[in-house]
Copies of this chain bind each other. A is one copy, B any other.
């Protein structure tokens, strides 16, 4: 059993890549969740990272933007990789089974993203790997 439910706001636009073999979409974002305030305490916020795959990742790319409110159901996934300095970095992220869009922003923002420039998105990801994460290949897709 490994079950997570989050409701929070995107800290930035989702970042989408594609697996090299099947070109499956992989979207990543992190979500801001304020902790319940302790009386007399200052605001504190958690920023868990979320990964989504496939059709849902494509919907995240199209409809989600920084600041939008989402509900996420998934599981905690841990991993590790070796960084440029040869140090082992441990990662913990939420792999989403389901992402729900809980608000739809202003009219402007709801419109689809500008069509990506030719040959941009469904191509081998050679932009480098984001800080703190490994490349994702087809064998990492959980379905």
Q: Are A47 and B78 also in contact (CB < 8 A) when A93-B92, A102-B102 are?
A: yes
Q: Does A129 contact B (CB under 8 A)?
A: no
Write out, one digit per residue, whether chain A residues 68-109 have a CB within 8 A of any chain B CB (1) or not (0): 010101011110000000000010111000101011000000
A142→B48 CA distance, assembly (Å): 18
A69→B92 CA distance, assembly (Å): 21
Instruction: Mark out the residues of chain A between 1 and 40 whose CB falls within 8 Å of any chain B CB in the assembled complex.
Output: 1-8, 33, 35-36, 38
Q: Note all chain B residues with C-beta closer than 8 A to A100.
A: 1, 7
Q: Does A46 contact B (CB under 8 A)?
A: yes
A46 contacts B76, CB within 8 Å? yes
Residue among B1, B69, B132 making CB contact with A5, cutoff 8 Å: B1
B94 contacts A76, CB within 8 Å? yes
